[in-house]
Structure 1
Amino acid sequence: MAATTIVQGAEVTEFPTITPQAARGRVLRVTEVGEDVLHRPCRPVTEFGTDALRTLVDDMFATMLIAEGVGLAANQVDVDLRLFVYDLTTEDGVRYVGHVCNPVVEVLGEETEEVEEGCLSVPGPGADLFRPLHVRLTGADIDGNAIEHEARGYLARCFQHETDHLDGRLYIDLISKRTRKRVLKDMLALRPDVLDRRAQLTAGHDKEPVAYPDQPFV
């Protein structure tokens, strides 16, 4: 039986492993903790249906592919807009792919779940974090059409993590100071290998290489 794939909230019968957006897009540098664009709220998207917005979504999917992420916010590619993309497969084998402009997350119910979380802008380590288990996401697509998704578990966590980014908040802002210190220390040790891996994947997908600074911004 073929795996289920949900694209922009609708089930599709066929979908490639590499999204068309990622195939078209160019790879951008992922911004890292300490850069100003990650630590302040982003501007709402006000112009829809533009070539610039479509190109940005393509580039974000390509960047997410190379960084081996499941979600990516616009400020993680140094763009000050309330927009994120996602491509993840849940434990039950359902793949969810899409983008959301101007996302708003509403928590549904009181149940929470503690799961290890990581971030492409904190390359390498992760930390356990409680988040609500059930949420509703509303927003718009790049053409301005309304979007509404109800999500649980892994997908709900992704929606919350990426919306947090657009509010200027990283997951390490939600953990204890002691754990945050450990995560940042581990990042310094793991970052070179993470960036080498991204460079290898960039070449493997025949994309133009992107340069990172020798040292992170923290």
Structure 2
Amino acid sequence: MAVLPILTAPDPVLKSKSKPVAAVDDRIRALLADMLETMYHAPGIGLAAPQIGVLERVIVMDIGRKEEDRDPIRMVNPEIVWASDEDNTYEEGCLSVPEHYSNVVRPAAVKVRYLDETGEKKEIHADGLLATVVQHEMDHLDGILFIDHLSSLKRNMILRKLLKARKDAE
């Protein structure tokens, strides 16, 4: 397992659409393990493969706050098969948009179909924080960042700050 570098906006890879995974094999299992290690190290509660420069439909999540509460979820080729009509608003942040947070409105509950790390078909019903995290991470697979759900004024302000921070670090 390895801790991998996380891309930050406005890296163009983050705006790219990911390809479906053909088969869950040892390479994908190693990717999932590296992604979990990277997510925990960051620390974060979700990570999508595009955030580490891999344009494949793979995400990991764990909303357990403490190490003893960890219950990682690994999803390959996830798809939302149902979303509630009711919405929820959460203050979201992102490892690829460091130190910026904003309220985002999303469906309060979703049902997601995916392959697990063994290649078995699974389905989960997610609500609350987990519903928000799974939708946030799945957005990454389509080149969408949480800031894309904000007004263009707010999004551009955040992107300018990120560019300035990157230039200052160089």
TM-score, normalising length: structure 2: 0.88
Would you say the 8 A contact 2:6–2:52 is kept in 1? yes
Which residue matches 1:99?
Answer: 74
Query: In structure 2, what is the Cα distance between the partners aligned to 1:122 and 1:104?
Result: 24
Amino acid at match of 1:47: A
Query: In structure 2, what is the Cα distance between the partners aligned to 1:101 and 1:172?
Result: 24
The residue matched to 2:33 in structure 1 has which SS? helix
Which of 129, 134, 147 aligns to 2:109? It is 134
The residue matched to 1:88 in structure 2 has which SS? coil
Query: In structure 2, what is the Cα distance between the partners aligned to 1:143 and 1:115?
Result: 32
Would you say the 8 A contact 1:114–1:131 is kept in 2? yes
Shift of 1:142: 2.5
Would you say the 8 A contact 2:4–2:52 is kept in 1? yes
1:30 aligns with 2:29: no
Query: In structure 2, what is the Cα distance between the partners aligned to 1:112 and 1:182?
Result: 26
Shift of 1:110: 1.2
Shift of 1:149: 0.4
Cα separation, partners in 2 of 1:174 and 1:35, compared to 1, 3 Å: same
Shift of 1:186: 4.7
1:117 aligns with 2:88: no
Instruction: For residues 41-63 of structure 1, give each alpha carbon's deviation from its aligned partner in whole angstroms, at most 9, with x where no partner exists.
Output: 10101022x22111111110111
Query: In structure 1, what is the Cα distance between the partners aligned to 2:105 and 2:70?
Result: 23
Which residue matches 1:66?
Answer: 41
Where does structure 1 lack aligned partners over 5 or more consecutive residues? 1-24, 193-212
Which residue matches 1:147?
Answer: 122
Cα separation, partners in 2 of 1:134 and 1:182, compared to 1, 3 Å: same
Q: Aligned-residue CA RMSD in angstroms? A: 2.1
Query: In structure 2, what is the Cα distance between the partners aligned to 1:172 and 1:32?
Result: 12
Which residue matches 1:157?
Answer: 132
Runs of 4+ in 1 over 6 A off after TM superposition: none
The percentage of aligned residue pairs carrying the same residue is 37
Would you say the 8 A contact 2:9–2:162 is kept in 1? no
Shift of 1:66: 1.4
Would you say the 8 A contact 1:124–1:186 is kept in 2? no
Which residue matches 1:47?
Answer: 23
